[in-house]
Amino acid sequence: MKTNKKNLILVALLNLFFAQAQTVSSGPPEPPLGKRWVLNPDFSDEFNGRALDTTKWYDHHPTWKGREPGIFLPSQVSVKDGFLQIKGEKLKKDTIIKAYGKELKYNIAGGAVVSKKAVLFGYYESRIKAAATTMSATFWFSSPGHKGQKDCDNYSLEWDIHESIGRGGDFKGNFFAYGMHSNSHYWYTDCNKEKHDYRAAVINFNNPEVSSARFHVYGGWWRDEQTASYYYNNSEPKHQKFYDKVSGKPFDQPMHMRLVSETYPYPWIELPNDAELADPTKNVVYYDWVRGYKLVDVNDANTGAKNDPTVKLFDESIMFHSATIDLSSATVLKIPLAYKALEDREIYLKLWDANGTKIVETKFIAYAGYANLEYELKLDKILEAKAGYSLLAKIRPLNVEKPTDIDSSTLIININDTKTAKNLTSKKKKTNK
């Protein structure tokens, strides 16, 4: 039996494609002290089924038909091969729809997937490969209208974690095909019924390669009513302060998540041509997964939102923030540490001195998620003021008689004499005076 050379090339390309898609997520950033990131299942999907999960998602935009000439159609949305796929295609004939008090003309099919629930704050990320056309690959949130601070005004919100297209061209928005682009809009209608698009400073991450060349991870942390941070692959974050001239805390309402492929008419972008819309190797946006995380207290068991431990959100680990730490002599040592756990785990701690003599050992439950905490290690006596105490930390399976370590880390603790520490503090106070 002869092997078709073209088939071998196609198989090799598909293997490379799927290998790209299976890379481990960058995961959420370090949580605030005393908090833990846990998966928010209402805004998370691995898209490993055979159809869209209609308990979480709409296969259309409930309140928007699409930007002309691109219409959102459920027929363009599918889940297969481990991806959410949104296909752009040329319609066989023009479609006229009456909406918003006017007639809209459509001749290109796109798609939108929208969360059924709304959420306030959190970290969200998606791994996306844009279509190699000028149709968009977007990941954003928005809310409907809300009453303003006056009886006669109103506002709505839009938070764009990422917007892109898959190829460049001779148009103003050519840069949109490269890197990551993040915006926030405070849509305000004043008492004179005049509408305003108030935006914060745009956040951009540069990449010379078009976004359709491979998968990228786009993340956004909606921190509070005033600020957000953005994450592109494994790069350092960039931060944004929302427009706050109308309201001091503008982003104060829950929003719905939206995964959308739409058209951008010229001169901003140009419409996709018929050839690329007919090419199945170019006309599909791939969403490998989308994940939402919420902050809970470190000791909150969070039994109502367990994640699937078979989904590798991150590498399980235990971490100290530095190699050494200076502490005052006391019967309770406050130890800062962080851990990542796919399911509930046990953390084992053992402290010994420079001679290898064990001082104390203990263990506690580490609830699933990414946690940042300060653990109070209790001692039977005050330690001598000297350097060289070692604290070993291990993360391992819970309720196992002879557990195998998943990860470990060691911290060197230098103990300062209490009297010396008090004298130093007193001297500092006198100097400051």
Q: Which residues are part of the catalytic machinery?
A: 158, 163
DSSP 125-183: EEEEE--SSSSEEEEEEE---EE-SSTT-EEEEEEEEEEEESS--SSGGGGGGEEEEEE
Q: What own/partner pairs with CB < 8 Å and gap ≥ 24 does 352-356 have?
A: 352/389, 352/390, 352/392, 353/388, 353/389, 353/390, 354/386, 354/387, 354/388, 354/389, 354/390
- Compute the distance between CA of residue 99 and CA of residue 418 in angstroms, rounded to an integer: 74
- Report the first-to-last Cα separation within the chain, whole angstroms: 91
Indicate the length of the chain as a whole number. Answer: 433
- Residue 260 tokens read as 């959308």
Separation of alpha carbons 297 and 35, rounded Å: 5
What is the rounded CA–CA span in Å between residue 411 and residue 409? 7
Helix (H) or strand (E) holding 312: none
Question: How many beta carbons lie within 10 A of that of residue 284, not counting itself?
Answer: 25
Rounded Cα distance between 247 and 254, Å, is: 16
Residue 411's CB is within 10 A of a number of other CB atoms, namely: 21
Among residues 37, 32, 260, the alpha carbon closest in space to that of 130 is found at: 260
Using alpha carbons, select from 20, 28, 25, 24 the residue that is nearest to residue 237: 28
Residue 62 CA, distance from chain mean position? 24
Please tell me the distance from the alpha carbon of residue 106 to that of residue 112, in angstroms, as a whole number.
Answer: 15
Whole-angstrom CA distances from 413 to 79, 92, 225 are: 52, 72, 39
